[in-house]
Structure 1
């Protein structure tokens, strides 16, 4: 017998834990596509809503896809039947009777969200501090290693713990004990991490000048890749929906098992 939970009930449970007010200004989290009153039926969890994910949801009989990254960040100017990209996928979702819930930087910042999970995956002891405020400030978390590591040792440990094919890093000054983490594209937070007395920042999508400036500040900066610093968000989605909507079937997309982007690290 299928659960009778609605799309709105699934949505409310998620935003209760990750309020939209925590999101950064550029972001577009929320119930982006669908019917609030429709039966959820089953839920598929993913990082990105791609055509492959939509195929999975249809095959599994799901009524809702919960994604970390928003399907679109700005409202489309046209809705055409032959549209491609995010608009085309939104139209496809509507035709299939699927709803899309996306929780992005609000889930990064929220207690128990991406950045807290990343601390745990890296074996860091979290520092006590005030509840997260979100917005445009530092959205990461800070934790401590049990024993100090050299920068190269930290980079190797990050690679091992997150299962990355490779990581990129620049070595700061001295050993690392206090580490800031920002899941996803957080290279621009190197100054905030250094200002808060951290020895290192672990994040993703670090630009060339971020590495240069971090090294100049004496900060070790590690880029572990967008996928590997966020893929575990589906664990949080599953826990929240499972607790708030008992009996509802929950599936993890196969796309969270392997990074689409491949790396050649040696010949």
Structure 2
């Protein structure tokens, strides 16, 4: 069976849907056609001219990068900067470019989970869970079909709460309906009002899975017309959001922890605030540019907050309550291609995926 781009992107978006990316982002297929057959795939943190040249050299026609090569609209393509030159080179060589950026950042087992494993964090939790991304599906079903319909809803992704699956609430009642002459009722007869014993089932669903879950419910339900309600919830989704926080298995001396961090992430340097803690136990972190989460890390009493791209004045915001450790944007996310590779290998066992050997870090240390 020939593998197409959409086979790979659909798999990735099943875990990290495009709808969960931030408003400023540009994740998705940037260059190429979803129906194009894939030869080989190159995985990288960034996609620049050298990355495209590497893809050409190994015969790959799909580059999956964490960072989008295009953030804003391109008004011209004449090669005046590296963005335009990269896109032109990709198009000329029939190479597709796909980005999986903040949607992978916000995925519970995404970028920050990979960082957690590298640091040695146990049971990491999302630092800033997203709000207004959960819904409640309520549907009504005859008693003898409850198991079949709820199973369909669960299999489609409904009923997940944290580490628990197949979660629902059921209550009993009676439903009434009057089939018209054009109806094809499962229960009762045309023109006569029917009273049936039914169950009301309530299930929590993620917004991005709403369509597939409702379709599954409809397909498994015996009724011609399925009574159901969908409510938008203001609850926080603990499985989706920015950054993570967790604990080391045992506390480490602060300087020992920083040495561990520098070695694990190959840091040229770690910029940090005053080492006000003798030991580190609770660690908060965010891949990339995460200064916006400092308040979350402080409020959850982390000993240290690790990210990249802190500005000078933002270091003052530590307020002697937490240690800020800026390890660098590239350094914090450098293992993202390894994460994507591990995810893809679980589903596409006999396909060639390559980790890029191009160091795209634009920052050097003297």
Normalising by structure 2, what TM-score? Answer: 0.66
SS at match of 1:255: coil
SS of 2:284's partner is strand
Higher RCO (C-alpha 8 Å, min separation 6) = 1
1:70 counterpart residue number: 68
Partner of 2:250: 147
Query: Aligned-pair distance for 1:131?
Result: 10
| Per-residue deviation, 1:217 | 4.5
Please say which structure displays the higher CA radius of gyration. 2
Deviating more after overlay: 238-247 vs 23-32: 238-247
TM superposition shift of 1:83 = 4.1
Aligned to 1:22: 20
- DSSP-derived class of the 1:45 partner: strand
Of 84-93 and 178-187, the range deviating more from structure 2? 84-93
Tell which deviates more after alignment, 68-77 or 140-149: 140-149
Q: Distance in 2 between matches of 1:133 and 1:259?
A: 30
User: Residues of 2 paired with 1:229 and 1:6: CA distance?
Assistant: 31
Q: CA deviation at 1:114?
A: 0.8
1:46–1:68 CA contact under 8 A, matched in 2: yes
* Secondary structure, counterpart of 2:305 in structure 1: strand
Task: Tell me which residue corresponds to 2:36.
Answer: 38
Gaps of 5+ in 2: 134-239
Give the TM-score taking structure 1 as reference length. Answer: 0.88
Q: Which residue of 2 aligns with 1:203?
A: 307
CA deviations on 1:141-173 (whole Å, 9 max, x unpaired) are: 101022333443332221122222321111354
Work out which of the residue numbers 272, 284, 301 in structure 2 matches 1:169: 272
Deviating above 4 A after TM superposition, structure 1's stretches of 4 or more consecutive aligned residues are 128-132
Given the superposition, is the C-alpha separation of residues 17 and 132 from structure 1 closer, same or farther in structure 2, using an over 3 Å criterion? farther
The aligned residue for residue 84 of structure 2 is: 87
Aligned residue pairs, count: 258
Q: CA 1:44/1:133 → structure 2, altered by over 3 Å: closer, same or farther?
A: same
Aligned counterparts of 1:186 and 1:200: Cα–Cα separation in 2:
13
Q: Deviations over 1:176-229 (max 9, x none)?
A: 311111011112321121012212101111111121111x14111101111221
Bigger Cα displacement from structure 2, 24-33 vs 244-253: 244-253
> Following TM superposition, by how much is the alpha carbon of 1:99 offset from its aligned partner in structure 2, in angstroms?
0.5
Paired residue secondary structure (1:228): helix
